[in-house]
Amino acid sequence: MMNLLLADNATINTTRHSGVSKDSRESQTSASSSLNSSVQSSFSKRGRGSSSRRLSMIRLSQKESAKNVNVEALTANKLRFSSLGVVGRDKETDVLKECLERLVMAGEDATATTTETGEDDVRASARELVFISGVSGTGKTTLAQTLASQTKRHKGLYLTGKFDFYLRDEPYSGFVAACRELCGEILMLRNDTNTEAKYQEIRDEIMSELGDEISLLTSIFPVLDEILDVDYASAPAVDCSDDAYGKEGINYAFRKFLRVVSTHFKPLVIVLDDLQWGDAASFELLETLITDRENPQIMVIGCYRSNEVDDAHFLSKTIRDLHEKKENDGFRITDIYVGNLDVPSVDQIIIELLSVDSDDSSLDLAEICHKRTLGNAFHLMAFLSMLEEEGMLGFNLGLFQWIWKIARIEEETAVAPNVVDLMKDKMKKQTGEVFNLLQLASCLGSSFDENLLFVAWEGLGKTRHLGSWKSSSDDDEDETVRTRDGLKQLLGQAIDEAFLEAHGESHYRWVHDNVQEAAMSLDAEEKMQEFQMSIGEILLRELSKTELRAVIFVVANLLNAKEVSDPDKKAKIVELNFDAAEKAKELSAFESAAKYVGKGIGLLPADRWTSQKELSLKMYSICAEAHYSLGNVAEMQKYCDEVLRQDNIPILDKMRVYHCMLITMGNGGRAPEALKLSLDILSQLKCKLPRNSASQMVTAFYWLSKTKLPSKDEIAELPLMTDPTHKACMQLMINVSTYAHYCNDFVTMILIVTCTVRWTMKYGIDLNSPAAFAILGFLKIVTGDFITGNAFSERALILLNRLESKAVESRLTYLVHFMVAPWAKPLQSTLTYLLQGYKVGMETDAGAEPGGNPFLHTPILVRTTHFPMYRQGILNLMHGSENPLILSGDAIESEDAFIDKVQHEHYPRNYLHVLIFKSIMCSFYGNHELGAKLALERGDAYLKKNGSVLVMSDFFHQGVSLFAMSRKTKKRKYIKRANKMHATIKSWAKKGNPNVNHCIMFLGAEKAALNGKHKEAMLLYSRAISTASRTGFQQDAALGSERFGEFLLYDLDDKERAISQLKDAIRLYSNWGALYKADTLREKHSSLW
């Protein structure tokens, strides 16, 4: 090629070169005449960084160059893509840098505030999320990489992870790759004596912060074992039998892990590439990280192909959801679109790449390159490399400059191949062994470990000529490269040719998706499928169980590539898909679990329920659970029905699918059906309960009265329940208590709960025993026995200590400390436990799994239905709205739509929460006419349906509005109902409730004012305000001060003391955080100030 160029100067466009390179020998030898390893530049997909240094040349005459220049040592005669900066992306680069600087400055501000005040002041808006979109090859990843050096200057960490088209069913793959980089950085600290102490500090903090959750993370990120220097891989797998580790648990554990990391590396920048191939679990983890207010120094950059993501794509939904949450959750989102380069940008690339002056000749070349590649950056680099290889672009040593022939380029590239075809042509020109290596590596994913590659490489060496597997011209050479050193040599050649790049120690990745795609398409699809299956069989045969589990998704995908007919092979693939599905389910990657187990089910024999009954049962059960978790009710039911049709399967073995059906019924407003089915199953399990209403009532109240409170010693001596039938019945009975509660079947609820407690005392402790004791305590509260009810809840906590189950802890905390304890203990004493329960619930995703107890799903109902309502109420108190009694604003878009939704949830108790909210808001904002009307309409319906602490607040605020209207109208209907509310609350105090004393005084003051007993009213108002303040009910103290002030102003005309009380009310409302309420009260009485 060089000779051709030297011989044909007369017809070639030439431009003077500006000299020779001063770069080191290392950079000289790393350069390649083709699209080489430096394609990791600003236009590569997987660059390690681009050098911004321009060629520094000295001028030589043609004679001097011919005499003095060592051709082999030259770099001037090679396409040095690594010399390129980022061209044509100034605006996008500035936007990215601005995001990072904003993140850094927010962190510095928070640090300065902490230093000055001694308290943490995390800036909620510090977190940055950037989405970079564009078609393949436009340079999205390289644009993101412009932040690498800037991040390093700030002593932060820049991490990259990539999702893979061929491993789309592998959960968290992008995060796994980023975590591998992170662990590599931490290990470097360990290997340096100057930073070893910092490594130890990070390690200790991770182990301290995560505790038992480390095993959960290492099941997803095995590389964590290395930095923790503990072999968790050989330890028993995380026990998910009590569903303590769900999706939220994984997300919460990873969130805590990154919190530790970000305290040592600030800022922390994570780039997730090819999000269009990400899995649902990864998107949810992304959302978890960016919404973490306790990790402000984090920036996530997501790159995706815009032409492969339509509005229906899960990524589009995720982006829309994140945009909706950014204001409330305090993070910023920046969207950047990267298009193709224009002609001037292509011209600038050619000028920099070839070190030529800008003139018409370079512009001519730029125009034809732009025409052939449409300005796609990666395609442009491949096209220029092809021009050099084909002799249409070359370096003339005589002229010491790059030369090209426009006419020839125009003619011979009239039909320009796409970038994948260019890469395929280049691969086909490689030696047989490099070609074979590329084909093999393409099957292992976008990145791969050298050890895994060697196992497959060595195994394939024993089976020659598979598919397009090339034979080496030298058999001895073929045997040589089967060694580890030989493989390393071939990997080095692949790196030199810009197909692969090293990514950490013994780990490699493709420089671009298109390169991997080219390698995957080197042979016909059918032959490639056979090739993939051969690799899968080798890995399945050669890897140990531990090694196989680490790459089980890769191996499963390989073996699923082609349909098989051999029964023995089918059996192995079925087992492998089941194992992959189980691992995916453990990781809460339910979509992947459904796909793997679905594939396995498709390979089962026709007589599966006789020849492989046990495996078939497991697979159908896990498939039903996966589809339940995905919300695919119809698919779930299909697999459940298949299991239930099998007469040769005992009912006990069908419990997994029954639980899926029951939870679906319960959550879908079909509680009566769920109740009936549960009782039918209990009957089949020989748990006989009275079925006619008369017998049920007699038995229920007899058991309620005769079920004695066991002593703490009796609880301590109970064995653990072991009989599987008893355990299944315990689970069902707890479920029945829920459905009975939904159906307002109080008798069945008492019957079932007392039976569950009696079974615990008779057969031993089960995971559902603590809940049974707590629910019995709740029933005792509803029937008016507060002391015994609280005692049963305390026994529930003792049972919990025996079980040591985090999932049970979270649910039980809600039952004990929200539903029961406040009736017998100061409310303030329960808050710490509730916060701890919430924390544990976030770690374990308690209540979200199939087979769990729906009665204990109430916290989830609260955060999905009730939470927006109360949050909107709080926002109205804090910031106000046109009508603060209306549920519309940031948390709820439309009150009418929200109420319609609640009323269609089939559970009347949910709508009661809306009415409770209205009563409370009417009381605070003085709309007592509406508040009293609601009180008369509703009565004590909520007390009859729910004994939670909300009943206290509900009755108190109803009483305030009723007494206010009694004083205003003197109507008997208000007076009668108000007195009943007052009497009911006083009865609670007599039974041991310590949280209503200020309510009794408050309503007593209102009653005294109604009856004209002014001195008594004044005394009771003062005592109520003092007691409320002392016991932590600041909002009630504020309301009391407001009502007292207006009583003094309007009833006694005592302006001076009224002003004092109203100012106290404004102060108390402000301290509580109800700033808008404070402002409205100040404005209402502005004439007094």
Q: Rounded to whole angstroms, how far apart are CA atoms 1072 and 1079?
A: 13
DSSP 87-138: -S-HHHHHHHHHHHHHHHHHHHHHHHHHHHHSS----GGG-EEEEEEESTTS
Q: Rounded to whole angstroms, how far apart are CA atoms 904 and 143?
A: 49
Which of 190-199, 379-388, 679-688, 868-877 is predicted least confidently?
A: 868-877
DSSP 82: G
What phi and psi, each to the nearest 5 degrees, are found at residue 124? -60, -25
Residue 470 predicted with pLDDT over 50: yes
Residues 807-826 have pLDDT tens digits of: 788 888 888 998 899 999 99
Residue with the two structure tokens 């025996």: 802
Q: Assign 3-class secondary structure to 786-809.
A: HHHHHHHHHHHHHHHHHHCCHHHH
Residues 320-346 have pLDDT tens digits of: 999 988 888 889 999 999 999 999 999
Give the per-residue pLDDT at 57: 30
Cα 1065 to chain center, whole Å?
Answer: 43
Residue 1020 predicted with pLDDT over 90: yes
Going by pLDDT thresholds of 50, 70 and 90, the confidence category of residue 1038 is: very high
Average pLDDT, the chain: 83
Kindly provide the b/e burial profile for residues 948-987, where b requires at least 16 CB atoms within 10 angstroms of the residue's own CB: bbbbbbbbbbbbbbbbbbbbeeeeeebbebbbbbbeebbe
* Contact by Cβ (8 Å): 143, 93: yes
Give the per-residue pLDDT at 717: 93
Give the residue-averaged pLDDT of 399-410: 88
Residue 864 predicted with pLDDT over 50: no
Q: Does residue 679 or residue 246 have the better pLDDT?
A: 679
Which of 461-465, 999-1003, 1030-1034 is predicted least confidently?
A: 461-465
For Cα atoms 946, 948, 952, give the angle at the middle one, nearest 5 degrees. 105
Residue 846 predicted with pLDDT over 70: no
Give the per-residue pLDDT at 946: 59
Give the per-residue pLDDT at 220: 80
* Contact by Cβ (8 Å): 814, 777: no
Residue 859 predicted with pLDDT over 80: no
What phi and psi, each to the nearest 5 degrees, are found at residue 337? -105, 130
Residues 531-570 have pLDDT tens digits of: 999 999 999 999 999 899 989 999 999 999 999 989 999 9
Residue 1067 predicted with pLDDT over 60: yes
Give the residue-averaged pLDDT of 735-747: 87
Give the per-residue pLDDT at 858: 39
Burial status of residue 422 (CB atoms within 10 A of its CB: 0-12, 13-18, 19 or more) = buried
Q: Rounded to whole angstroms, how far apart are CA atoms 962 and 1002?
A: 13
Residue 248 predicted with pLDDT over 50: yes
Residue 9 predicted with pLDDT over 50: no
Element (H, E) at 393: strand 393-396
Residue 856 predicted with pLDDT over 50: no
Going by pLDDT thresholds of 50, 70 and 90, the confidence category of residue 916 is: confident
Residue 62 predicted with pLDDT over 60: no
The partner residues of 299 in beta bridges, in order of sequence, read 128, 269
The sheet with strand 447-449 has its strands ordered as: 447-449, 507-510, 500-502
Handedness of CA 1042, 1048, 1051, 1053 (dihedral sign): negative
Residue with the two structure tokens 């639980």: 659
Q: Rounded to whole angstroms, how far apart are CA atoms 353 and 362?
A: 11
Residue 22 predicted with pLDDT over 80: no
Give the residue-averaged pLDDT of 121-142: 81
Q: Does residue 927 or residue 6 have the better pLDDT?
A: 927
> How many other CB atoms are there within 10 angstroms of residue 826's CB atom?
13
For the chain, the helix, strand and coil percentages under 3-state DSSP, each to the nearest 5: 65, 5, 30
Amino acid (1-letter code) at residue 783? T
Going by pLDDT thresholds of 50, 70 and 90, the confidence category of residue 603 is: very high
DSSP 400-458: TEEEE-HHHHHHHTSSPPPHHHHHHHHHHTS-HHHHHHHHHHHTT-SEEEHHHHHHHHH
pTM for the whole structure: 0.74
Give the residue-averaged pLDDT of 591-620: 95
Give the per-residue pLDDT at 31: 32
Q: Rounded to whole angstroms, how far apart are CA atoms 266 and 154?
A: 7
Residues 523-540 have pLDDT tens digits of: 888 899 999 999 999 999
Give the per-residue pLDDT at 945: 55
Give the per-residue pLDDT at 581: 95
